[in-house]
Amino acid sequence: MYTIHNEANVGPLGRRGVALTSEIMNRHYARDEDFVWDKLVENVMWIGPLRSQFVTGLDKVKALLAQEKDVTFTMEQEEYFVPYENEDFCVVSGCYYVTSDPETKLFIRCHQRVSFFYRLFGDRLKVAHMHLSHPYEVTDPDEYFPFRFGKEAYEYIASTHQLAFTDSLTELGNRNAYETDLLQLSEHLPDMSSLGMVLFDLNNLKMINDSLGHLAGDQLIRSFAFLLRESMPDTAKLYRYGGDEFAVFLPQTDRGVLERALQELEDRKEAYNATNATRLSFAAGHAFFKKGTDNTLSDVIKRADSRLYARKRAMKKLL
């Protein structure tokens, strides 16, 4: 059994995270690793106490832990704390004592700390980052990232997550974020009353890069991202998923709201062009999920993409 120190303030996802952390670590020390692998994302980050134990990717984690497969341990006095949780992810930090089992013919007993970062994929909670170390007070000089408090673990893990899922130029979601959210939205489609999507493609970006330089092109991309963020509803999910390609998901949003947002974006673009020498131009295509007609979100994406390129063709004819 285990103790949750801030149990009164822990919600359903945090409780699931604590239970899963305890089970993963107990199974890990019993060397039931197949159970553990199933709970990790493919690009999981795993950090152990030493600098050599810092790897990213499930295959590398398997290779790293293979050397421990013949030594089993028993866990006891498990204590956990949930420093942060929301509807999509949670952080679990804790410590416990671990003792080598008699049949290993070793005697190892130590106090260890663990921090897990979980993301929700559909109804499955999976590990995106796991860190094992000795408690802060007994760390060795060679120990890597010793987290003293759950808040430190959350801030570090949140920063690595931010890098992995954010486009550095625009601070919108990147392609990784787009594909992750696409999977989650697909799993929640039956529960949604509506879901809209818009695809954007900037015009003349290559010409601007060639004639004015990439700094001018980057500034135009940043400017469009700013206008997009200012125009779309707060619930919209925004991404730059290619060089001059942007996408927006609008869960639980009706057509009227989207049409007003697109008109506001158009108005902001005109105001921008009135005061900037480098003109901003884009094409857009949008579509809504049709229950009973669309099988997957791919059908929505195809319609939005078709309308986007029809618009681009029409704009070229006007030049």
Q: Could you read off the pLDDT of 268-277 as tens digits, one per residue?
A: 999 999 999 9
Burial code of 246-267, b = ≥16 C-beta within 10 A, e = fewer?
A: bbbbbbebeeebbeebbeebee
Please say whether the dihedral angle defined by the alpha carbons of residues 243, 244, 245 and 250, taken in this order, is positive or negative. Answer: positive
Q: What is the mean pLDDT of the chain?
A: 87
For residues 151-156, give the mean pLDDT.
56
Instruction: Summarize pLDDT for 13-33 with one digit per residue, the tens.
Output: 999 999 999 999 999 999 999
Residue 148 clears pLDDT 70, i.e. is over it: no
Matching CATH topology for 2-164 and 175-318? no
- The tokens for 166 are 């954010």
Neighbours of 235 (CB within 10 A): 11
Domains of the chain by residue range: 2-164, 175-318
Among all chains, which residue has been given the structure tokens 């890990």?
A: 28
- Strand duo 109-121 + 124-133: pairing: antiparallel
H or E segment to which residue 112 belongs: strand 109-121
What's the rounded Cα separation, in Å, for the pair 313 and 130? 49
- Strand duo 2-4 + 73-85: pairing: parallel
Residue 126 clears pLDDT 90, i.e. is over it: yes
* DSSP, residue by residue, 77-109: EEEEEEEEE-SSEEEEEEEEEEEE-GGGT---E
Nearest to 269 by CA among 249, 251, 283: 283
Residue 168 clears pLDDT 60, i.e. is over it: yes
Helices (H), the chain: 12-29, 33-38, 58-65, 150-165, 175-188, 205-212, 214-231, 255-275, 297-318
Residue 11 clears pLDDT 80, i.e. is over it: yes
pLDDT band at 177 (very low <50, low <70, confident <90, very high): confident
In this predicted structure, which of 99-113, 115-129, 168-182, 196-210 has the lowest mean pLDDT? 99-113
CATH superfamily of 175-318: Reverse transcriptase/Diguanylate cyclase domain (3.30.70.270)
Cα 136–chain centre separation: 28
Helix (H, G, I), strand (E, B) or coil at 317: helix
- The tokens for 42 are 């493919």
Residue 179 clears pLDDT 80, i.e. is over it: yes
What's the rounded Cα separation, in Å, for the pair 15 and 141? 34
What's the rounded Cα separation, in Å, for the pair 6 and 125? 20
Burial code of 67-100, b = ≥16 C-beta within 10 A, e = fewer?
A: eeeeebbebeebebbbbbbeeebbbbbbbbebeb
Nearest to 120 by CA among 167, 165, 181: 181
pLDDT at residue number 275: 95
In the DSSP assignment, the letter for residue 141 is T
* 296 vs 224, higher pLDDT: 224
CATH architecture of 2-164: Roll (3.10)
